[in-house]
Structure 1
Amino acid sequence: MSDYGRFAFEPVLNLVNGRPVGIEVHRCQARDQPELAARGAVWGPRQLAEFDAGIAISSALHDTDYDSTVPVHVDVLADTVVLARSRIGQLRSSLHNRAEGRPTPPVLLEINPALSAAPPDAFAEGVAALRADGFGIAFDTVGRGFGLDLIAELQPDLVKIDASLVARLPHVPHARTVVQALCDVCRAVGVRVSALGVTHPDELAAVRDHGIPWAQGPLLAGSRRRPSTVGILLPVDLMPRIHGAPASPPAPVPAARRPSPVPRDEPAARLAALATFTQAPVTLPEDVTAEAVRQALADHPHVGCVVLLDPQRRPVGFLDRNRFMIAISGPFGRALYAHRPARTLAEEPRTLAATADVRAALAYCLAGDRTRTYDDVVLLDERGRCAGIVRVTDLLQEATGVHAAA
């Protein structure tokens, strides 16, 4: 990692569609690691937290070439959340000032286990305060420092499974038991899970076997000197294989041997929760210009929309790629719209709770304005924030038996 200089940027990838969903800033030098720097100094807990907060801000400001449509993941200690959160609160404003008017990415704080002390009540208070300031919250290296009760109580936006646990996952039954427990709790409370340090194909297969949708590591995408996500995509040989419906129907089964029909209230694939098909959306602040949206679509040629979010990350505008490009590509389109707020071209997002099922979502898509039947559906968490998008084509594939498998 030292070859990258002081900081490096590692993509976080969606294992379903292969696209980047975030980029983490790594500290490459020993002098920036609190646990190493503190060994040669007589520091108290507050000094350690202030040091960590300063390095976190420096890491985020190391570059300005961010892809503003995916979150930047910044590491902090749990100690810092308790003792120096006012300093951390300066990170977003500093990033905004450094950008000089350009869109800035959402910031996800990756909270690492405490080095000295982080009392649970004070830690919960700190997390709530940082959320109120507009930060996303992730628990980093879970399996090494955070208990399941804390995940269930605080419900972070993301939980990252420790790389050492991922490395043991294919071969050590106890590791699989721990990861399964983590995944069960996270699914129960609606927390997304990601895997760290995926290095070998058998680790990737084990991660997929546990239904973990996001991951990062040298097998998937190497670290970079710059935080741009342009050109990043999961290698083709690591993408999930696609299985379609059989070409011809199976031979009929005699009535006496047919299984009993599934009761109407029995869970089935067509009643699966929408969260199963969630993809990370391309999002931008609600006040961006149309030119910023055009650039975001150019940087992400495979996406079909951009979602505009307010400061609380609630969806306030939806821009379909085709309709947006037609609007700005027409006569005088760039001249009329390039520097105007993109929201003037946006439509109302079609939203559903992330706990809804596939059948309800398809009924919702087919109702109302037929010109928007194939618009992506924006999912909301319990706080009304954007939790992702679901493509109507994925819902149709699930309903007709076409699905992706690892």
Structure 2
Amino acid sequence: MNAMDTPILTLPGASAPPDPHSVRTLLRAGTLHMHLQPIVDAAARRVVGHEALVRTPAGCAWRTPDTLFAAARREGCTLELEHACLVAALARRHDTPGPRQLFVNLSAQALVHGALRMGGGPGAADPLQTAGLDLAGVVLELTEHERVHDLAAVQEALSVWRAAGAALALDDFGDGRSSLRLWSELRPEYVKIDKYFVRRVHQEGHKLKTLRALQQLADTFGSRLIAEGVEEADELMVLRDLGIPFVQGYLLGHPRAEPTPDVPAAALAVLDSREIAVLPEDRPVIHRGLTARTLLVDAPALPADATHEDALELFHQHPELEAAALVAGGYPVGLIARRTLQELSMQRYFRDLYGRRPCLLHASADPLCVDVHTPIEQLTQVLTSPDQRYLRDGFIITEGGRYLGLGTGEQLVRRVTEARIEAARHANPLTFLPGNVPLTLHIERLLDHGEAFTACYADLNHFKAFNDHYGYWRGDEMIRLQARCLTGACDPRRDFIGHVGGDDFVLLMQSADWHARLLAAVERFNRLARDLYDPAARQAGGILAEDRHGVMRFHGLTTVSIGVVRVAPGRYRNAEQVASAAAAAKHLAKQAERGIHVVAEDREAAPAGGQSAPASDAASARGFSVPAAPACGTACQ
């Protein structure tokens, strides 16, 4: 059977226009045909279905489905066109042998109208039934979500389609038109993720977060996800590692007249690869959501006409307070500081002159007032403000302008410091490279995957002397140079680099040529680091500076040392053991001041408990060291 054998529906009141190039004329000619694009099961690595996409005959004025359906809307025959596409798609099912599914696009209106006809509603006999076509394995992709106005009618129609064997998919979920309510109410068997969230997902952390959120929703609603628009190998690798069940896109196969029986070689190579993807990091704002409410101190206030004696008595009763607010009608009008009153009270005749006069005379008339809902990050400017009285005396916290309580500088410093420490665990603020948390997660992913990789721990030689001699600003420049050189040694698709603090970096490499990459990074850093010294130091090959024990001695130019551990499957149980083994290898590399020290694969760099090898074990740890290319004085000897 083909589309030409199928009678085209004509809605009541609709008539074909005289234009021979109209959509209705095209439907009568029966020249529409369907192309099939494969949908691939990423875990099973096989084609499990196809999406049917309408195509027009050669020479047709409407070259794309969008222009074809736009013309049908102008002529008022959209339902006839959708029905013809559905029948034509079903006619192609014999071309896809085996238990493969057929995905067909259908609007809510067509879905409801088709269910009415199948259920014996008004109209002629339904071609789907008279043709004897089985709907088992057919997945209806609900399009144009914004046009679902009668949800109850759609739910009723779905019960008819599902009874006939069909399933439901939400199409292009996340494109701005999709509705989370539809997902919840209709409980589709499949949800197709819009291609926006797939494109460059290997580089954009916020899209990765969105996919993970969609996975949680899919688990909640019992749906399976299909990622659309997969065009690059790196995108497919991330989707595979995330566990997205099904994928679709040009990398998996273009829409063709004949069905695609197997996964293309390029996509199959990605799905079969033992490497894991380096997931992009979206630097989190850890203190987002923290507000000034966390700083609120329930402190009594004074009326606006309170005297100096009243204020002194309040501070006597509340020794923990450093300031008190002056309030009129519930609104703060000033802030009197304890230290101000203490200094004034030491003056001769102060109590006689000012004791019974309003303390507003010596209060700050323009105190810092912070709304209780103000995010903490907006208050960090207080820390660097030239007016430090807010840190010393505190500030007033309000809600809707009305007095709630006080905030102290000590609390603000503590909260901001805690937030920044937590943020640094995710992304180092100096280099913006991933910190300890994502580094640990990536090691765990590598260990769980059971594939060999190379763990590298990089540290600088003579850096403390350089930092002490030239200052922190140039020290930061040295660390940023180290970050650039090490990052340049990494293949972003295979190798992960983390900055764990100071001049310590960890690289987790899946690149087969890791050794050559590290050698190039060491040579480049050692050469460029010389430029951060002044000419005299470069000529002398180092500087005179105090060591860690306060003894003045000569320190060679800063170079980099990298300890390397080859991690074989099953060799380490957890991320802590890998990190400890790499740190022990780095310790041996720094002792010899060699560019790279590789621990032999038959030798553990750390005991099973995960503790670093002590310095005395350096001579007994069997391994081989590859010196860096000579680029600086005594440090490279």
Tell whether the 8 Å contact from 2:199 to 2:235 is kept in structure 1 after alignment.
Answer: yes
Residue number in structure 2 paired with 1:9: 36
Tell whether the 8 Å contact from 1:79 to 1:114 is kept in structure 2 after alignment.
Answer: no
Distance 1:255 1:181 in 2: 34
Deviations 1:89-124 (A, max 9, x none): 857646755xxxxx9862111111247554222222
Task: Give 5+ residue unaligned stretches, structure 1.
Answer: 98-102, 258-406
Give the 3 Å change call, closer, same or farther, for CA 198–124 of structure 1 in structure 2. same
Structure 2 counterpart of 1:161, which letter? I
1:128 has 2:159 as partner:
yes
Task: Give 5+ residue unaligned stretches, structure 2.
Answer: 1-31, 57-61, 120-125, 275-448, 452-568, 574-603, 613-637
1:151 has 2:204 as partner:
no
Give the 3 Å change call, closer, same or farther, for CA 93–32 of structure 1 in structure 2. farther
1:185 has 2:185 as partner:
no
Distance 1:148 1:9 in 2: 28
Tell whether the 8 Å contact from 1:194 to 1:212 is kept in structure 2 after alignment.
Answer: yes
Give the 3 Å change call, closer, same or farther, for CA 220–200 of structure 1 in structure 2. same
Distance 1:210 1:230 in 2: 23
Residue number in structure 2 paired with 1:208: 240
Structure 2 counterpart of 1:180, which letter? R
Distance 1:133 1:233 in 2: 36
Q: How many residues matched?
A: 247
Distance 1:151 1:162 in 2: 14
Give the 3 Å change call, closer, same or farther, for CA 116–192 of structure 1 in structure 2. closer
Shift of 1:81: 1.7
Residue number in structure 1 paired with 2:95: 65
- Aligned counterpart in structure 1 of residue 259 of structure 2, from 217, 224, 227: 227
Question: Alignment RMSD, CA only?
Answer: 3.6
Shift of 1:204: 1.5
1:26 has 2:53 as partner:
yes
Tell whether the 8 Å contact from 2:215 to 2:225 is kept in structure 1 after alignment.
Answer: yes
Residue number in structure 1 paired with 2:113: 83
More off after superposition, 238-247 vs 160-169: 238-247
| Residues 380-399 of structure 1 mapped to structure 2, 5 A cutoff | none
- Aligned counterpart in structure 2 of residue 53 of structure 1, from 83, 86, 95: 83
Tell whether the 8 Å contact from 1:68 to 1:104 is kept in structure 2 after alignment.
Answer: no
Shift of 1:17: 2.5
Distance 1:188 1:41 in 2: 37
Give the 3 Å change call, closer, same or farther, for CA 95–62 of structure 1 in structure 2. farther
1:119 has 2:150 as partner:
yes
Relative CO higher for 1 or 2, CA cutoff 8 Å, sep ≥ 6? 1
Residue number in structure 2 paired with 1:198: 230
| Residues 3-402 of structure 1 mapped to structure 2, 5 A cutoff | 6-29=33-56, 30=62, 33=65, 36-39=68-71, 42=74, 47-62=77-92, 64-87=94-117, 93=129, 96=132, 106-114=137-145, 116-144=147-175, 145-227=177-259, 229=261, 235-242=267-274, 243-244=449-450, 246=569, 253-254=608-609
Tell whether the 8 Å contact from 2:201 to 2:235 is kept in structure 1 after alignment.
Answer: yes
| Secondary structure of 1:226 counterpart | coil
Fraction of identical pairs, as percent:
26
Structure 2 counterpart of 1:71, which letter? Q
Q: TM-score, normalised by structure 1?
A: 0.52
| Secondary structure of 1:239 counterpart | helix
Give the 3 Å change call, closer, same or farther, for CA 170–249 of structure 1 in structure 2. closer
Deviations 1:33-84 (A, max 9, x none): 376434465455xx43343122221222146322241111111112212334
More off after superposition, 121-130 vs 226-235: 226-235
Tell whether the 8 Å contact from 1:67 to 1:229 is kept in structure 2 after alignment.
Answer: no
Indicate the structure (1 or 2) with the bigger Cα radius of gyration. 2
Shift of 1:140: 1.1
Tell whether the 8 Å contact from 1:76 to 1:111 is kept in structure 2 after alignment.
Answer: yes
Distance 1:54 1:40 in 2: 12
Give the 3 Å change call, closer, same or farther, for CA 117–50 of structure 1 in structure 2. farther
Distance 1:62 1:184 in 2: 35
| Secondary structure of 2:152 counterpart | helix
Tell whether the 8 Å contact from 1:68 to 1:106 is kept in structure 2 after alignment.
Answer: no
Give the 3 Å change call, closer, same or farther, for CA 111–233 of structure 1 in structure 2. farther
